[in-house]
Amino acid sequence: MKLKILQISPQVPVPPVDGGKISIFGLLKALAERGHSIDFFCYRKHSDYNYSYNELSKFCNPRIIDVQTDNNVFKAFVNLFKKLPYNVSKFIRPEMWYAIKEYLKDNNPDIVHIDHIHMSWLIDHLRNVIDKPIVLREHNFESDIIYRYYLNQRNPISRMYFLKQYQRLLKFETTYAEKFDRVVMISDVDELKILKFNNNIKTTIIPAGVDNNLFQIKAYNHNKIPFSLFHIGDLEWKPNLDGLQWFVDEILPLIVKNFPKTQLFVYGKNTEKLIIPSELKKNVVKSGFVLNLWNELLDKQIGIVPLRIGSGIRIKVLELLAQGHLVVSTEIGKEGIPIVDRKHYLNANKPETFVEKISNVFKDFNDYKTICFNAQEFIKQNYAWSNVAEKFESLYVKLINNK
């Protein structure tokens, strides 16, 4: 059964260089490769229109709405006196609904797929004009991210602000999620969390995926730079910056004390946001955005995921494990991925544990190759995009037949 799918996203997912974009684009591409027709609506933000349109056109019919949704300090302050959470209100734009409404005059999709709770406001409009199943893809339980961010604030004014935002977002997220025919959670952890607040939400679990080509990379078989660490992620996303800054401030100095030649390579956008203490400048390399990231990582020993804030699944963790990299992660960093400490990765939540486990790897990397192999095999069996797309397809067909 070939479907006509209307997919709505808060951002252009190309190039797929961060977890959010990878999760949206990976499914889009995999569904298209299964023969489905996809009409894809998204906000342009700061992406290059021509590039984005051309890349998306390979897999769908793109409609890119020329709207920016950047954070704005003044609007964030004004939001204190409004009912909606700020990180939802900035995505409520009449330009998006106008474009969709015009599209629906000449098109009749079989199903509507909305990415992220930020775009869920559209369901009220859609219900008035079409009688089709509408699915919400929750890439994270967003309220939990804000709650964890609130817990990590030391400034009392910031704590008050984020507590208020958390309360508003929790109410919005759990209320709007109930309106959908199905809410697709990315992990069992997130499903339990959202149902705790509203067990009327109709949920199912389908994880994110990884590209099959990554399984061809055997990172553990490559020669490694001794005492090398790496971190990947856009530091514009506050949980990434928070975790990496914590690692640099509290953990890296202890590692360097024992291994002075340690080097931490930082990949991704906005690396200028990371503050490096003067005594560690020779130990940190801000590589920034690179075109061929996977080749860059082959000679690095350990990928670090020091997240203290977050929800959902870290797509980059899946991708690193799929390639056979050794990963040291906090519990939050690997949340939603049922991998086992010392079998698929190394778990560390405190500075002293990070230091211990990284130091042991530095002493003899070869002892850890089996962990890398086990992780790659586990991801291969459970997270290939082809399998994920098949699960979404089955869900769509079931909802359509039951409508």
Q: 72: how many CB neighbours lie within 10 A of its CB?
A: 13
Contact 237, 307 (CB under 8 A): no
Q: CA distances (Å), 181 to each of 59, 89, 320, in order? A: 26, 23, 34
pLDDT digits (tens, 9 = 90+) for 293-322: 999 999 999 999 999 987 667 888 999 999
Contact 208, 315 (CB under 8 A): yes
pTM of the predicted model as reported, rounded to 2 decimal places: 0.82
Helix (H) or strand (E) run with residue 173 in it: helix 156-177
Query: Do residues 93 and 181 share a domain?
Result: yes
Query: Do residues 160 and 288 share a domain?
Result: no
Query: Do residues 112 and 234 share a domain?
Result: no
Q: How much is the pLDDT for 229? A: 98
Q: What is the mean pLDDT of residues 264-269?
A: 96
C-alpha torsion angle, residues 102, 106, 110, 115 (rounded to 10): -20
Query: Do residues 121 and 199 share a domain?
Result: yes
Query: Do residues 156 and 219 share a domain?
Result: no
DSSP codes joined into one string, 312-352: S--HHHHHHHHTT-EEEE-TTTTTTS---BTTTBEE--SHH
Residue 41: strand, helix, or coil: strand
Query: What's the per-residue H, E or C state across 228-297?
Result: EEEEECCCCCHHHHHHHHHHHHHHHHHHHHHCCCCEEEEECCCHHHCCCCHHHHHHEEEEECCCCHHHHH
Q: In whole numbers, what is the pLDDT of the chain averaged over residues? A: 94
Q: How much is the pLDDT for 89? A: 94
Backbone angles phi, psi at 228, to 5 degrees: -110, 135
Q: How much is the pLDDT for 70? A: 85
Number of domains in the chain: 2
- Cα separation, 228 vs 226, whole angstroms: 6
DSSP codes joined into one string, 79-115: GGGSSS-HHHHTT--HHHHHHHHHHHHH---SEEEEE
Residue whose token pair is 């977002």: 169
Query: Do residues 254 and 201 share a domain?
Result: no
Q: Which two tokens stand for residue 213?
A: 């080509």
**Closest C-alpha among 252, 284, 283 to residue 271:** 284
Residue 169's domain is classified under what CATH number? 3.40.50.2000
Query: Do residues 26 and 140 share a domain?
Result: yes
* Percent of the chain scoring above 90 in pLDDT: 84
Query: Do residues 33 and 171 share a domain?
Result: yes
Q: What is the mean pLDDT of residues 89-110?
A: 97
Helix (H) or strand (E) run with residue 29 in it: helix 19-33
- Cα separation, 289 vs 271, whole angstroms: 9
Domain assignment of residue 98, given as a range: 4-209+384-402
Query: Do residues 81 and 219 share a domain?
Result: no
Q: How much is the pLDDT for 311? A: 65
Q: In what order do the strands lie in the sheet with 111-115?
A: 61-65, 37-43, 4-9, 111-115, 134-138, 182-185, 203-205
Q: How much is the pLDDT for 304? A: 98
Q: How much is the pLDDT for 342? A: 96
Query: Do residues 237 and 247 share a domain?
Result: yes
Confidence of residue 355 (pLDDT cuts 50, 70, 90): very high
Q: What is the mean pLDDT of residues 33-48?
A: 95
b/e code 108-136 from CB counts within 10 Å (16+ = b)? ebbbbbbbbbbbbbbbeebeeebebbbbb
Backbone angles phi, psi at 205, to 5 degrees: -115, 120
Q: How much is the pLDDT for 266? A: 98
- Cα separation, 324 vs 217, whole angstroms: 7
Helix (H) or strand (E) run with residue 5 in it: strand 4-9
Q: What is the mean pLDDT of residues 28-44?
A: 97
Q: How much is the pLDDT for 17? A: 80
- Cα separation, 361 vs 277, whole angstroms: 25
Among the residue ranges 3-7, 40-44, 114-118, 366-370, the one predicted with the least confidence is 366-370
Q: CA distances (Å), 86 to each of 12, 58, 166, 297, 349, in order? A: 21, 34, 10, 37, 30
Helix (H) or strand (E) run with residue 124 in it: helix 122-126
Amino acid 377 reads E
Query: Do residues 27 and 174 share a domain?
Result: yes
Q: How much is the pLDDT for 314? A: 86
Query: Do residues 34 and 175 share a domain?
Result: yes
Q: CA distances (Å), 330 to each of 41, 244, 302, 353, in order? A: 35, 12, 14, 10
